[in-house]
Amino acid sequence: MSPNIQEISKTKDSFSLKELNVMLKKKNKSIPTKFLYDDLGSKLFEKISNTKEYYLTRTEEDILNKYSTKIINESDAHELLELGSGSSKKTKLLILEALKVKKNLSYVSFDISEKALKMSYNQLKNISSDLNIKLIKGDFINDLEKLEQINKPRLYLFLGSTLGNFNNDTAIKFLSKISKKMKKADFFLLGIDKIKNKEIIKAAYNDTAGITEKFNKNILNVINKEYNLNFNPEKFDHIAEFNEDKSQIEMYLQALSHQKINSKQENIEINLGEKILTEISRKFSDTSIQSIFKDSGLEIVKNFSDVKKYYSLYLLKSI
Ligand code: SAH
Ligand code: AVI
């Protein structure tokens, strides 16, 4: 039986071809990161999570294995609400822990990708009859306001360091919205990738099996389908470089030739060697993330980390 998915926005449709054209005509070209996640993109992200180079997922999983009991005891939540949940594989650890102390636990999985929501459902559907699963398809940038309030304690989850995919303004706006939504009894668990040796970071986005390359190039198939364009992903190179000044990975598609892309509106021209930005992935220090929390009305209750201090799971409260 296919799961029931509530759609709270027209998601990708809410971004027009006109807006995309503007982004692709600028000197510094870019494509919105959310277009990385169609069915194939969601599957490829899961594969990336299992590569030897991509330390983020397994490190976060290690921290959750160690501290789930503490997190659940502290938050005492009746509902876990996860934004950009992906497959919910790591979240299962928290859910299993919460089920030990709560009857009638709710888990809300919120994602832009239907494939991710289905993976999440399949991950969790058989674990307990005490678990009520709700799947919501929406955009966490545009649709947060539409999430309904409940009168029992809720634990908000934003894992995988997806916050790193937002620039500073967007990160503060996003976190402020959550902070405003949070009631006194609510907690927020946020996964953050930390600054470390840059070779380790670069390798995570340049895996030798070439899965990140496929993930990056797939963004062109997604926008081709969505906006009836004719990008050829094979005419681009995958680039993921570390910008030390901004402490972020920048993922680009670099044109291997001069190209003309047909569109229902104006055609798009890309020069040989020109780069299209598809994603930033910021790496934070304790200080840089704390300053963002301060500007977003959040305070740290606990910082759970791994031995190497590669990654942090911050348990937060709204001030
Ligand atoms: N939290 C999971 C998945 C991280 S991948 C983990 O830690 O493994 C990022 C997830 O965010 C994907 O599932 C993707 O579909 C989702 N996503 C990306 N942009 C989104 C947006 N604008 N709104 C909602 N979900 C989004
Ligand atoms: C989801 N997000 C945090 C991932 C990241 O590391 O920025 C997406 C990703 N991009 C390339 N590999 C993984």
pLDDT in tens, 158-200: 999 999 999 999 999 999 999 999 999 999 999 999 999 999 9
Among residues 195, 124, 114, 112, which one has the least CA distance to residue 161?
195
> 20: Cβ below 6 Å to ligand 1?
no
> 118: Cβ below 6 Å to ligand 1?
no
* Ligand 2 centroid, distance to 113 Cα (angstroms): 15
User: Beta strand pairing status for 79-83 and 154-158?
Assistant: parallel
Evaluate if residue 13 carries a pLDDT over 80. Answer: no
Strands (E), the chain: 5-7, 29-30, 79-83, 105-111, 131-137, 154-158, 187-193, 236-243, 248-255, 259-261, 268-270, 275-282, 298-305, 311-318
**Which atom of ligand 1 approaches the CA of 116 most closely?**
13
- Say what the pLDDT of residue 238 is: 98
Q: In degrees rounded to 5, what are phi and psi of residue 268?
A: -115, 135
Q: Report whether 24 contacts 182 (CB < 8 A).
A: no
Evaluate if residue 11 carries a pLDDT over 70. Answer: no
Evaluate if residue 10 carries a pLDDT over 70. Answer: no
Evaluate if residue 80 carries a pLDDT over 60. Answer: yes
Q: Domain 55-197+284-318 carries which CATH code? A: 3.40.50.150
How crowded is residue 228: how many other Cβ atoms within 10 Å of its Cβ?
11
Q: Which residues line ligand 2 (CB under 6 A)?
A: 48, 56, 160-162, 164-165, 205, 212, 279, 281
Separation between Cα atoms, residue 309 and residue 196, nearest integer Å: 8
- Say what the pLDDT of residue 265 is: 83
Evaluate if residue 12 carries a pLDDT over 60. Answer: no
> pLDDT tens digits, residue range 268-317?
999 999 999 999 999 999 999 999 999 999 999 999 999 999 999 999 99
Location of each CATH 3.40.50.150 domain in the chain: 55-197+284-318
Which residue is listed with tokens 């169609």? 38
> 85: Cβ below 6 Å to ligand 1?
yes
Among protein residues, the one whose CA lies closest to atom 4 of ligand 2: 162
